[in-house]
Structure 1
Amino acid sequence: MVQVVFLHPDLGIGGAERLVVDAAVALMSRGCSVQIWTAHYDPQHCFSETLSPDLPVVSACIPVLRLARHRKKVLFYCHFPDQLLTQRRSLLKRLYRVPIDHLEELTTGMADRIVVNSKFTAGVFKQTFPNLAEIHTDVLYPSLNFASFDVEVEEDLTGLVPEGRRVLFLSINRYERKKNLLLALQALAALRDSISSRQWDQVHLVMAGGYDERVDENVQHYGELRSLAASLGLEEHVTFLRSFSDRQKVALLQSSTCVLYTPSNEHFGIVPVEAMYTRCPVIAVSSGGPLESVAHEETGFLCDPTPESFSEAMGRFLTDAGLKQRMGQAGRDRVIDRFSLQAFTDQLHRHILSLTD
């Protein structure tokens, strides 16, 4: 039996964590013995699939595996270079990161095989790690476990969406500034100013975000977003939802007119794929991973990261009654064709087996 250990620093509820869980489930379905090792795990802040496995709480790195008594084969799945996820506002922080950045490149190069989550990330990988430019990186797109979304969810959205708001826009992202969630609120305000009061009475936005009280930025940015909504006069048309359940997410996706996906240069982004599978079109920034997942004017709209561009696309769903249905079905077909769990499992399993030959 092939034994596989996943190493991930914090098994919360972000896109990278969703990917790790799906990959683990996929390999278990192929008869692999799987463990997930993590430096932090909170049963109150996790994906439901992780509630049953035994998760060792440890930290490790590639050199440790290379120096082990029985050398382990290492498959490194690059979600995005760590050094690009760290802000360096002070000179001290920049100096502190110099050796860490060098170590990241050195240790990454020690992996036996490297895969990335998108063509966009493949390009960023080569730019960020010039000494690894000759290493071949295969693209392994994240996938969906369709069974998690092929359920009839009768989740009561009362209290989240006021009665009569038939045009529901949905934002799903962690409460982090780099996710540019301000754009969703600014676009909603721009939409209000471009439509009739009768149309506006039918519009609502749910801001559903991953939220961890341990993270200062989550707490601060949540407050910033609520303040912006109040200053724009949007409070009655916006619901803020923190750390929602899987059932709530599926219910919201199934009920929404469209998802607003606001990050720029997102390495992949699983939310647009989840939305399209549930027949919910996507309005996303025209950069990064969404360029590979969303088909412009077919399964959604790829827009400039401006309130005007987003609000124009949002307005299309108010003037074209059949747009959601047409784009929704096209999106589902696209996900089934390109991002199925079966395709992901086959490719990942081949990589694992190639390292055990």
Structure 2
Amino acid sequence: MVNVVFLHPDLGIGGAERAVIDAALALKSRGHTVRFVTAHHDVGHCFEETKDGTLMVTSVGDWLPRKILGRFYAFCAYLRMIYAAAYLVFFSGLKLDVVFCDQISACIPVLRLSGAKILFYCHFPDMLLTQRRSFLKRLYRAPIDWLEEKTTGMAHSVLVNSKFTAGVFRDTFKSLTHIEPEVLYPIPDFTAFDQPVEPPSEQLLPACKVIFLSINRYERKKNLSLAIRSLALLKEELSSLDDVHLVMAGGYDERVNENKEYFKELSHMTKELNLAKHVTFLRSFSDAEKRTLLKYSTCLLYTPSNEHFGIVPIEAMYMKCPVVAVRSGGPLETIAHGETGFLCEPTPKDFAAAMRKFVENGTLAEKLGKAGYERVMKKFSFVAFTSQLDNIIGQLCED
């Protein structure tokens, strides 16, 4: 049995959070002791396992600022993570065999002082997640980018979430050519998805023949407007949208200005395009509601480009819900074009063409949904994920 502590910046309800929670559940199922240390944990905005006692969570350093004068988000995030690492090493009193950290590598030098093995899970290089349009921004980011690369190389083992991210890792971190990150697909624990699914309420899903579903955080990089513009084009081609509806379900946090701003932009867009009665917005939802959405929707529209992996398409296919996604990044590895869904260019024209197939062919969703479930069971098994991660932890402790 190994004592594993997961160190994560913010245990909200995003894909990164889902990935580390499922990793913890996998290791716990193999008899290891697991718990979380995080800089922020809001029981009103988190996954069920982190508040119902399934996983022990300790939150430290939430008093530290998330921003300074409306800026310096990265600096503050690094500071909060380093503080959490210092608490874990010097004050927690926990026995540490392995520390599994992700997103922010700046804490690794502190973690190395514990004598534990450090496993870093790279969802995507942080330096690629922000633009540098001004000289001051480039000046600000330069030491942060250097620190990210330097500290990532200090981990005993580095994992990435897809072959796509592995390629980006090699191209980005030029000084880490000696590191060959291992691909560990962040496969969810499907146990919860096997529970009985409640029939949808009118507030959750309208009584329509064809329901398109989008599940993603309300962030501009997720390109949620693509789903709305594609629906508008579909309306033009079909003359009407009788019995067709789009549900925009997204993670939403009042603390995040972008969430609030983008939600308003999308709401305004639906009114401008005369789609208000054909689009329903959901801001955050329970796990049970998510299962209902996936089970009773015709297909999932997954709109981000160059997505690092994408857990939601895997969940959708497991629930026999076909996926229409952008032809780039992780979906290239998870979705079989024409068999479990469709891979498209990130344009309303391409997406609308794929959506039209489901409107005109009433049996297509069932056919592709069944194939999607079979693909997940064959290639993205949680059992295989658990075994791979357990072996990685075992090898780390033996070295």
With the shorter chain as reference, the TM-score category is over 0.9
Higher deviation after alignment, 268-277 or 333-342: 333-342
Q: Indicate the SS of the match to 2:237.
A: coil
CA distance in 2, matches of 1:149, 1:101: 39
Quote how far apart the aligned CAs of 1:155 are: 4.5
Alignment pair present for 1:92 and 2:92: no
Quote how far apart the aligned CAs of 1:35 are: 1.2
Letter in 1 for 2:9: P
Q: 1:60-79 alignment to 2 at 5 Å?
A: 60=85, 61-68=107-114, 71-79=115-123
Q: Percent identity at matched positions?
A: 62
Aligned to 1:127: 171
Structure 1: runs of 5 or more not aligned? none
- The Cα offsets for residues 168-189 of structure 1, whole Å up to 9 and x where unpaired, read as 0000000000000010000000
Aligned to 1:335: 376
Aligned to 2:351: 310
Q: 1:267-346 alignment to 2 at 5 Å?
A: 267-346=308-387
CA distance in 2, matches of 1:330, 1:38: 38
Aligned to 1:56: 58
CA distance in 1, matches of 2:5, 2:184: 18
Aligned to 1:13: 13
Aligned to 2:27: 27
Aligned to 1:109: 153
Alignment pair present for 1:349 and 2:351: no
Aligned to 1:203: 244
Q: Indicate the SS of the match to 2:58.
A: coil
Alignment pair present for 1:189 and 2:235: no
CA distance in 2, matches of 1:230, 1:94: 38
Are 2:200 and 2:296, in contact at CA under 8 Å, matched by a contact in 1? Answer: no
CA distance in 1, matches of 2:380, 2:205: 30
Pick the aligned partner of 1:172 from 170, 194, 215. 215
- The Cα offsets for residues 270-313 of structure 1, whole Å up to 9 and x where unpaired, read as 01101000000000000000000000000000000000000000
Aligned to 2:97: none
CA distance in 2, matches of 1:209, 1:89: 28
Q: How many residues align?
A: 352
Q: Indicate the SS of the match to 1:55.
A: strand
Are 2:340 and 2:372, in contact at CA under 8 Å, matched by a contact in 1? Answer: yes
Quote how far apart the aligned CAs of 1:156 are: 3.5
CA distance in 2, matches of 1:162, 1:47: 26
CA distance in 1, matches of 2:171, 2:232: 38
Are 1:155 and 1:248, in contact at CA under 8 Å, matched by a contact in 2? Answer: no
Aligned to 1:246: 287
Are 2:309 and 2:329, in contact at CA under 8 Å, matched by a contact in 1? Answer: yes
Are 1:144 and 1:274, in contact at CA under 8 Å, matched by a contact in 2? Answer: yes
CA distance in 1, matches of 2:200, 2:349: 33
- The Cα offsets for residues 304-356 of structure 1, whole Å up to 9 and x where unpaired, read as 00000000000001122221111001100111111111111000000000011
Higher relative contact order (CA 8 A, sep 6+): 1
Quote how far apart the aligned CAs of 1:204 are: 0.2
Quote how far apart the aligned CAs of 1:196 are: 4.3
Normalization by structure 1: what TM-score?
0.97
Letter in 2 for 1:224: E
Q: Indicate the SS of the match to 1:65.
A: helix
Are 1:317 and 1:324, in contact at CA under 8 Å, matched by a contact in 2? Answer: yes
- The Cα offsets for residues 59-82 of structure 1, whole Å up to 9 and x where unpaired, read as 2211011123xx110111111111
Higher deviation after alignment, 265-274 or 145-154: 145-154
CA distance in 2, matches of 1:54, 1:279: 32
Aligned to 2:181: 137
CA distance in 2, matches of 1:133, 1:263: 29
Are 1:208 and 1:243, in contact at CA under 8 Å, matched by a contact in 2? Answer: yes
CA distance in 2, matches of 1:49, 1:83: 30
Alignment pair present for 1:264 and 2:305: yes
CA distance in 1, matches of 2:145, 2:390: 30
Letter in 1 for 2:42: D
CA distance in 1, matches of 2:204, 2:22: 29
- The Cα offsets for residues 79-118 of structure 1, whole Å up to 9 and x where unpaired, read as 1111112233433222111001000000000011111100
Are 1:144 and 1:339, in contact at CA under 8 Å, matched by a contact in 2? Answer: no
